[in-house]
Structure 1
Amino acid sequence: MRSRSPPPAIGALLASSLFAGASAQAGPVAPSAPGPGDIVTLDRVQVSATRTPQATLDTPAAVSVVRPADRPGTLGVNLSEQLPAVPGVLARSRQNHAQDEQISIRGFGTRASFGIRGARLYVDGVPATMPDGQGQVSHFPLAQAERIEVLRGPFSALYGNVAGGVVQLFTTAGQAPGAVGARLAAGSFGSYRLDVDAGDAVGASDYTLALGHFSTDGYRDHSAARRSSFNTRMGLQRDATRLTLLANALHAPDAQDPLGLDRAQFDADPRQATAGAHAFDTRKSVAQHQVGAVFEQDLTSAAQLRVLGYAGRREITQYLAIPVATQRNPLSGGGVIDLDSPFGGVDLRVTDTTTLGGRPLEWTAGIAYDRQHQHRRGYENFVGDELGVRGALRLQQDDRVDAFDQYAQATWIPAPAWTLMAGLRRSRVRFRSHDAYITTDNPDDSGALEFDAVSPVAGLGWRVRPRTLVFAAWGRGFETPTFNELGYRADGGSGLNLALRAARSRHAEAGVRHASGRKRAELVVFRADTRDELTVNTSSGGRTTFQNVPRARRRGVEASTDWPLSAQWDAQLAVTWLDARFGADFLTCAGTPCASATVPVAAGTRIPGVPRTSAFAALRWQAAQGWHARLEAQHVAAASVNNLDDERAAGYTVINLMAGYRWRRGADEADAFLTVGNVGDRDYAGSVIVNEGNRRYYEPAPGRNFTVGISWRWGGSH
Structure 2
Amino acid sequence: MTPRIRRNAACALLAAVPALACATDGATPLPRVMVTARIDSAPAFELPASLDAIDLVDSKRAQVNLSEVLGGVPGVLARDRQNFAQDTQLSIRGFGARSTFGVRGVRLYADGIPATMPDGQGQLSHFALAAGDRVEVMRGPFSALYGNSSGGVVQLWSADGTDPVQADFRGTAAHYGTVSASARVRGFAGATGYHLAASAFDTDGYREHSAARRESANLKLHRDFDGGGRLELVGNHFNAPHAQDPLGLNRAQVRADPRQATAAALQFDTRKSVGQDQLGASWRQPLGRTGQLRVTGHGGARDVVQYLAVPVAAQASTLSGGGVVDLDSTYGGMDVRASWQGQAGAGTLEFTLGASADRQRQQRRGYENFVRDGGATTTGVRGALRRDQRDVVDSFDQYAQAWWEFAPRWSLQAGARHSTVRFRSTDHYVNAGNPDDSGGVEYAQTTPVAGLAFAVHEDLRLYASAGRGFETPTFNELAYRADGGAGLAFDLRPAVSRNLEFGMKWRKATGAALEAALFRADTDDELAVARNSGGRSSYRNVGRARRQGGELSARLPLADAWSLQVAATWLDAHFRDAFPVCAGTCATPNAMVAAGTGIPGVPQRFGQVRLQWQDAAWEAALETSAVGAVPVDDRGTESSPGYGLLHVEAARTWTPGRGRLRGFARIDNLLDRHYIGSVIVNEANGRFYEPGAGRSLLLGIEWQP
TM-score of the two chains, using structure 2 as the length reference: 0.94
Counterpart AA for 1:356: A
> d(CA) in 2 for partners of 1:418 and 1:148?
29
> d(CA) in 1 for partners of 2:650 and 2:587?
53
Give 2:573's match in structure 1, choosing from 576, 580, 585: 580
Report SS of the residue matched to 1:64. Answer: strand
Give 1:129's match in structure 2, choosing from 111, 116, 137: 116
Which residue of the partner structure matches residue 627 of structure 1? 618
CA drift of 1:416 comes to 2.6
> d(CA) in 1 for partners of 2:204 and 2:406?
58
Asked which structure has the greater RCO (Cα within 8 Å, sep 6+), the reply is 1
Which residue of the partner structure matches residue 671 of structure 2? 680
- Count matched residues: 668
Query: 2:346, 2:408 within 8 Å by CA — same for their partners in 1?
Result: no
Which residue of the partner structure matches residue 98 of structure 1? 85
Which residue of the partner structure matches residue 244 of structure 2? 256
Give 1:291's match in structure 2, choosing from 279, 282, 302: 279
1:60-139 matches, cutoff 5 A? 60-69=48-57, 72-139=59-126
CA drift of 1:357 comes to 2.3
Query: 1:214, 1:226 within 8 Å by CA — same for their partners in 2?
Result: yes
Which residue of the partner structure matches residue 439 of structure 1? 431
CA drift of 1:45 comes to 8.3
Tell me, yes or no, if structure 1 residue 469 matches structure 2 residue 461.
yes
Counterpart AA for 1:468: L
Deviation string, structure 1 residues 25-55 (Cα, Å, up to 9, x no partner): xxxxxxxxxxxxxxxxxxx984122211332
Which residue of the partner structure matches residue 280 of structure 1? 268
CA drift of 1:362 comes to 0.5
Tell me, yes or no, if structure 1 residue 334 matches structure 2 residue 322.
yes
CA drift of 1:597 comes to 1.2
> d(CA) in 2 for partners of 1:400 and 1:515?
48
> d(CA) in 2 for partners of 1:461 and 1:358?
15
Give 1:541's match in structure 2, choosing from 534, 540, 550: 534
Report SS of the residue matched to 2:77. Answer: strand
> d(CA) in 1 for partners of 2:340 and 2:44?
20
> d(CA) in 1 for partners of 2:132 and 2:453?
30
> d(CA) in 1 for partners of 2:447 and 2:179?
44
CA drift of 1:260 comes to 0.5
CA drift of 1:372 comes to 0.7
1:641-652 matches, cutoff 5 A? 641-652=632-643
Report SS of the residue matched to 1:550. Answer: coil
Query: 2:251, 2:689 within 8 Å by CA — same for their partners in 1?
Result: yes
Cα distance, 1:515–1:162 mapped onto 2, change above 3 Å: farther
> d(CA) in 2 for partners of 1:674 and 1:443?
59
CA drift of 1:162 comes to 2.0
> d(CA) in 2 for partners of 1:228 and 1:45?
29
What do you get for the CA RMSD once the two structures are aligned? Answer: 1.1
> For structure 1, which segment, 677-686 or 61-70, has the greater mean C-alpha deviation from structure 2 after superposition?
61-70
Deviation string, structure 1 residues 372-427 (Cα, Å, up to 9, x no partner): 11100001111111111111100000001000000000000112322210001000
Tell me, yes or no, if structure 1 residue 499 matches structure 2 residue 486.
no
Which residue of the partner structure matches residue 206 of structure 2? 219
> d(CA) in 2 for partners of 1:585 and 1:135?
29
Give 2:215's match in structure 1, choosing from 228, 252, 255: 228
Counterpart AA for 1:419: S
Query: 1:176, 1:202 within 8 Å by CA — same for their partners in 2?
Result: no
Query: 2:465, 2:502 within 8 Å by CA — same for their partners in 1?
Result: yes
Tell me, yes or no, if structure 1 residue 59 matches structure 2 residue 76.
no
Identity %: 52
Give 1:661's match in structure 2, choosing from 647, 652, 655: 652
Tell me, yes or no, if structure 1 residue 691 matches structure 2 residue 679.
no
Which residue of the partner structure matches residue 478 of structure 2? 486
CA drift of 1:522 comes to 0.4
Report SS of the residue matched to 1:95. Answer: coil
Counterpart AA for 1:556: G
> d(CA) in 1 for partners of 2:215 and 2:203?
12
CA drift of 1:201 comes to 2.4
Over 6 Å off, 4+ runs = none
Counterpart AA for 2:632: V
Query: 2:346, 2:405 within 8 Å by CA — same for their partners in 1?
Result: no
Deviation string, structure 1 residues 509-543 (Cα, Å, up to 9, x no partner): 01111133522210100000000111111001010
Query: 2:346, 2:407 within 8 Å by CA — same for their partners in 1?
Result: no
1:95-494 matches, cutoff 5 A? 95-239=82-226, 240-384=228-372, 385-494=377-486
Deviation string, structure 1 residues 357-382 (Cα, Å, up to 9, x no partner): 25210011100001011100001111
Report SS of the residue matched to 1:338. Answer: strand
Report SS of the residue matched to 2:254. Answer: helix
> d(CA) in 1 for partners of 2:691 and 2:508?
40
Tell me, yes or no, if structure 1 residue 609 matches structure 2 residue 597.
no
Tell me, yes or no, if structure 1 residue 47 matches structure 2 residue 34.
yes
Query: 2:219, 2:234 within 8 Å by CA — same for their partners in 1?
Result: yes
Which residue of the partner structure matches residue 11 of structure 1? none
Deviation string, structure 1 residues 55-110 (Cα, Å, up to 9, x no partner): 2211110111111226x311111000100010001000110000111000001111
Deviation string, structure 1 residues 644-700 (Cα, Å, up to 9, x no partner): 101000000000000110122454212111111101101111000010111110001
> d(CA) in 2 for partners of 1:465 and 1:192?
50
Counterpart AA for 2:94: G
Query: 1:362, 1:411 within 8 Å by CA — same for their partners in 2?
Result: yes
> d(CA) in 1 for partners of 2:257 and 2:452?
52
Report SS of the residue matched to 2:525. Answer: strand
Report SS of the residue matched to 1:547. Answer: strand
Counterpart AA for 2:560: A
Counterpart AA for 1:564: P
Query: 2:87, 2:101 within 8 Å by CA — same for their partners in 1?
Result: yes
Report SS of the residue matched to 2:456. Answer: strand
Cα distance, 1:667–1:519 mapped onto 2, change above 3 Å: farther
CA drift of 1:202 comes to 4.5
Deviation string, structure 1 residues 260-295 (Cα, Å, up to 9, x no partner): 001111111110001111011000000000000001
CA drift of 1:584 comes to 0.5
> For structure 1, which segment, 50-59 or 519-528, has the greater mean C-alpha deviation from structure 2 after superposition?
50-59
> d(CA) in 1 for partners of 2:425 and 2:170?
45
Query: 1:520, 1:562 within 8 Å by CA — same for their partners in 2?
Result: yes
Query: 1:163, 1:505 within 8 Å by CA — same for their partners in 2?
Result: no
Counterpart AA for 2:623: E
Tell me, yes or no, if structure 1 residue 671 matches structure 2 residue 658.
no
Query: 1:156, 1:162 within 8 Å by CA — same for their partners in 2?
Result: no
Give 5+ residue unaligned stretches, structure 1.
1-43
Give 1:598's match in structure 2, choosing from 590, 596, 599: 590
